[in-house]
Structure 1
Amino acid sequence: MLIHPMVERLRGLGLTAMADAFIEMQNQSAADDLTREDWLGLLVDREATSRDNKRLARRLSQARLRQNAVVEDTDFRTPRGLDRALFHKLAGCEWISHSQHLVISGPTGVGKSWLACALGHKACREGFSVLYRRAPRLFAELATARGEGRLPRMLAALERTRLLIIDDWGPEPLTAEQRRDLLEIVDDRCEKGSLLVTSQVPVNRWHDLVGDPTLGDAILDRVVHRAHRIELKGPSLRKRHAVTTQSDQGA
């Protein structure tokens, strides 16, 4: 008779997972052998796990990662210049804790976006706020925000994000407005957050992308000189996958 009032009280306090665990344990005979401390510990663990999962789901939703990628599924067998030790170190997210940056470069199809999303997913799991944007979409949103008078608010929101992923930067040079916006974003992240940039364009050609020597020096000085770098190479994995799939279907 005491179960129902207890469950309702727990739910009223917002302890839904604890209430569900209480009902489950009441229906398990093995729970009769548990001490009161064990009972309480199991209930608290269930509530804590539920809240952690909800926070993770919220961070992943806000991150809007393009691909459903996780670091545990990373392909190290395909030869593309991916250093296993470096990637595992980056997956520990210590570089984000220290507000460092990461640049992933290489030709199209070698998995730059996938790796970026996998590291973004891991950052969410480690409790960091993440935001993924393809470079063209980011600059378009900044231009719209400027036209609507929301640019300071948008830049402030970007500044609060611990890991900002800018995917597929280049090969088109930046406009004057885009150069200023990028410098603002990079400058705001100094000692406050991390950038992960992917690009088909080699880093030694980024000055050409910026299109202004002075701003190029300012942007690269704040990003590249404090960044870990993954330089991928090799043929497109998409083509390899397509050939493999066609071969399997033919068999």
Structure 2
Amino acid sequence: MPAATAAVASLAPPATPAQAACYQRLRGHLAELKLNAAAAALPAVLDAARDEDLTVVEALERLMGVQAHASQTRRADNNLRFASLPAPWSIDDYDFSAQPGIEESLIRELACLRFLDDATNVIFIGPPGVGKTMLAIGLARTAALTGHRTYFTTCEDLIRRLQRALAEHRFATGLRFFTQPKLLVIDEFGYRRLDEDGRSLLFEVINGRYLKGSIITTSHVGISGWAERLGDPMLAAALIDRLLHRGIIAAIDGPSYRMRAHQAHTDTLRRGLTASTSSTPAKASTP
């Protein structure tokens, strides 16, 4: 028997006691190494090795490919759970044709995630309802699915959690939680005016991530109004300096998504009521 044929034959499902023992040892090795996906796929891969005349290397590559895919899927699922995204939106859910206030090519470029390589920040600014949070979530989802540690929070929740960590004498741990992810999304920046403790804690996070990890933030307040929201012009200047040193500003000036959805829903109801009224036969008058 030629060497190549013998190699393929050795990959076929076990037919002799020796082959069966070897097969069980192989499954044991895979289980010991916690390669559970590969262990489950082993019979099918051995069948394919026989039916498709695969070489030993080709069969091993297929088997390890199954395990690698399972690991990538599990890691992506874990990243998504950790990211705590409030909605399942992706970049493709954003209707660029209905929102002329944003440059689609810029968002598509950001979705390539090159901005994460040098800890560049992204700042979405625009009035309520234009899709700032949707875009931030879409980019965060892309980052999480491609293996980057990502976390989504609102500015108010971030400050609340750090205040609690400070009161419980574990501030260093609480701060690391927000500074270690590759990407941190801070939604609704400037939604409320911050007191002294709040703005100091926010600055600690931004300063701790400076030149180390990217931040995406959304705000309906223009950068010129941040000093008033923070209540401290000097601190606002330092915060803005760190965000914009490596920063991309994406200003959105267009119609509200929510108002458009509300109008579409109202129009649908109105058409339904009109159709229902026109199809109802008129009652005969009583003589």
* Contact 1:80/1:110, CA 8 A, preserved across alignment: no
Q: Is 2:169 the partner of 1:169?
A: no
Distance of 2:104 and 2:115 partners within structure 1? 16
Q: 1:87 aligns with which of 107, 129, 132?
A: 107
Distance of 1:88 and 1:30 partners within structure 2? 45
Deviations 1:108-143 (A, max 9, x none): 111111110110011112322111001111111111
Q: Please tell me the residue identity of whatever aligns with 1:75.
A: D
* Contact 2:190/2:230, CA 8 A, preserved across alignment: no
Question: How far has the Cα of 1:102 moved from its partner?
Answer: 0.6
Q: 1:44 aligns with which of 46, 58, 64?
A: 64
Q: Please tell me the residue identity of whatever aligns with 2:242.
A: R
TM-score (norm 2): 0.82
Taking only the aligned residue pairs, the percentage that are identical comes to 28
Greater mean alpha carbon deviation, residues 177-186 or residues 28-37:
28-37
- Tell me the equivalent position of 2:149: 129
Structure 1 residue runs without a partner (length 5+): none
TM-score (norm 1): 0.93
Question: How far has the Cα of 1:80 moved from its partner?
Answer: 3.9
Question: How far has the Cα of 1:28 moved from its partner?
Answer: 5.1
Bigger relative contact order, structure 1 or 2, given CA contacts below 8 A and separation 6+? 1
Change (3 A) 1:31 1:209: farther
* Contact 2:76/2:145, CA 8 A, preserved across alignment: yes
Question: How far has the Cα of 1:172 moved from its partner?
Answer: 2.0
Q: Which has the larger radius of gyration?
A: 2
* Contact 1:110/1:235, CA 8 A, preserved across alignment: yes
Q: How does 1:135-174 map to 2 (within 5 A)?
A: 135-174=155-194
* Contact 2:49/2:59, CA 8 A, preserved across alignment: no
Q: How does 1:20-35 map to 2 (within 5 A)?
A: 20-27=40-47, 31-35=51-55
Question: How far has the Cα of 1:88 moved from its partner?
Answer: 1.0
- Tell me the equivalent position of 1:223: 243
* Contact 2:100/2:254, CA 8 A, preserved across alignment: yes
* Contact 2:99/2:130, CA 8 A, preserved across alignment: no
Question: How far has the Cα of 1:225 moved from its partner?
Answer: 4.0
Q: How many residues align?
A: 251
- Tell me the equivalent position of 1:240: 260
Change (3 A) 1:8 1:32: farther
Q: Please tell me the residue identity of whatever aligns with 1:51.
A: S
Q: How does 1:196-211 map to 2 (within 5 A)?
A: 196-211=216-231
Question: How far has the Cα of 1:29 moved from its partner?
Answer: 8.2
* Contact 1:93/1:126, CA 8 A, preserved across alignment: no
Distance of 1:171 and 1:158 partners within structure 2? 20
Deviations 1:151-186 (A, max 9, x none): 111112222111111001123221101111111111
Q: Is 2:134 the partner of 1:114?
A: yes
* Contact 2:46/2:59, CA 8 A, preserved across alignment: no
Change (3 A) 1:30 1:83: farther
Deviations 1:8-65 (A, max 9, x none): 4312221111112212234558744222221111011111111111111111111111
Change (3 A) 1:35 1:7: same
SS of residue paired to 1:118:
helix
SS of residue paired to 2:216:
strand
Distance of 1:95 and 1:111 partners within structure 2? 20
Change (3 A) 1:4 1:90: same
Structure 2 residue runs without a partner (length 5+): 1-13, 15-19, 273-287
Distance of 2:160 and 2:97 partners within structure 1? 37
